[in-house]
Structures are given as C-alpha cells and as structure tokens.
Amino acid sequence: MRKPLRLGLTGGIGSGKSTVAGFLAEAGATILDADAISRSVTQAGGRAIPALLAEFGEEMITPEGALNRDAMRSLVFSNPNSKRQLEGIIHPLVGQILQEQTQTAIEAGAGCLVFDIPLLVESIARWRPQLDRVCVVDCQPETQIQRVMDRSGISRQEVAQIMSQQATRAERLACADVVILNDGIDLAQLKQRVHEMWVSFGL
Ligand code: ATP
C-alpha cells in the first residue's frame, strides 16, 4: 500500500487555514481536523466523557451527558492544574482517533493526509514525528485582525487577546517547511498558491 504524504497545516487565527484546507480537499487531500475531533469526544456520548466524569465529577457534565463547557472554563480559570488534567484526557484521545482516521484513509488509498491542527506549533514536539511536512498559512497580524473582525464581529481587543495566547508569527514560521503567504491576494490567487504547493509535492 502506498504511503500518503502527511502534511501538518496550521496558522494563527484568521490566517486562512480553513480556506486552505478546503482547497486541499478539492485537490483530493483527506482532511483530519483535530479541533472537530476534540469537540466530538466531549459531546454527549463522546469517548472522553467517562474519564471526564471520573476526574471532575458530575458537575462538569451536562444532564445530556456532554462536557459542561461553561463550568469547565470557570474551573480551568480558577485552577490551572485542571487544564493539564483536562488536556491529559483529551489529547491522547484525539491522537488515538487521528490514528484510526489515518489508517482508514490509507486503506481507502489516500495520497495526501492533511492534519489541520490550529495549535500545531504550540505542541510541535508531539506532532513533528507524525508529519512529513508542515505548512504554515501566514499573513500580517493586521490582516488576521481585520478578517476575524469581519467574520465574527468581535472587537479588535478580543482578537488581539486571542492572538496573544497563540504562538508568535516568528515561532510559527520557524516550524514551517512550506509557507503560504495569504496577504494582499484574493481567494482565487490563494487557491493558485495551494495548487502550486500541491504540485511541488508531486501529487
Ligand atoms: P480560525 O483560526 O479563526 O478558524 P482560519 O485561519 O481557519 O481562522 P479562515 O476561516 O480560512 O481562517 O479565514 C478567515 C476569513 O478570511 C474567512 O472569512 C475567509 O473567507 C477569509 N479569507 C481568508 N483568506 C482570504 C483571502 N485571500 N481573500 C479574501 N478572504 C479571505
């Protein structure tokens, strides 16, 4: 069985990584979405629920059986250790499900697996061994701020606050094998850049 190219895809908030993932999917890549998996394991009946119940008790679980996100956010805010405990449950499960999805995609003959991981750079040591290349979608911080304000209507301060909690632009670029510069171009030009990267991989 042919080994697919494993591409890590990341970028700061509003950089355009979801848009790039969409273009890669159109080109034929299989997208594995770490955020979607992490949400799914904490939904009612999700795989993380039994461990979350055992670790944090019933007050962190909704009557429907999902993670109570508001209660968890408050707990994490007041007790930093609980964030580590939460991640200690979620991260291994996300890794396990990604492996299962990878196996399924390989069996289906996928040529390229895209690991869409927003916080890839923040945990690069964990991810790097599982990836052949890392693609960073990059743009000026001001472009990120404008895009997120336009998209979600949140304030400049709120976007800046989220950005200050993410890796810096320099830290992201230091992890990149390929950079897609998504500044001063329209969506058609972005698609062209994604296509050029795809071709450069021999896909
Ligand atoms: P987040 O981290 O918040 O999920 P993201 O990095 O996935 O963001 P996208 O959702 O892909 O970013 O893009 C943010 C917004 O900017 C979207 O509305 C998208 O359509 C728009 N956008 C991205 N790139 C371009 C571009 N080159 N031209 C015009 N609009 C763009």
What digits encode the pLDDT tens for the residues 3-47?
899 999 999 999 999 999 999 999 999 999 999 999 999 999 999
Q: Dihedral of the CA atoms 39, 91, 68, 74 (nearest 10)? A: -120
Residue nearest to atom 20 of ligand 1 (CA): 19
Ligand 1 pocket, residue 46 CB under 6 Å: no
Fold held by 1-29+111-203: Rossmann fold (3.40.50)
| Domain ranges (residues) in the chain | 1-29+111-203, 35-109
pLDDT at 19: 97
Mean pLDDT of 91-118: 94
Mean pLDDT of 100-113: 94
Residue nearest to atom 7 of ligand 1 (CA): 18
pLDDT at 90: 95
pLDDT at 1: 65
Nearest-angstrom CA–CA distance, 83 and 17:
26
Task: Point out the ligand 1 atom lying closest to the alpha carbon of residue 183.
Answer: 27
More confident residue, 191 or 119: 191
User: C-alpha angle with apex 192: 130 to 117, nearest 5 degrees?
Assistant: 25
Ligand 1 pocket, residue 14 CB under 6 Å: yes
Per-residue confidence band for 114, with pLDDT thresholds at 50, 70 and 90: very high
Question: What whole-number percentage of the chain has pLDDT above 70?
Answer: 100
Q: Is the pTM of this model over 0.75?
A: yes
Question: Does the structure show a pLDDT above 80 at 2?
Answer: no
Ligand 1 pocket, residue 149 CB under 6 Å: no
pLDDT at 74: 93
Question: Does the structure show a pLDDT above 80 at 202?
Answer: yes
Question: What whole-number percentage of the chain has pLDDT above 90?
Answer: 93
Ligand 1 pocket, residue 18 CB under 6 Å: yes
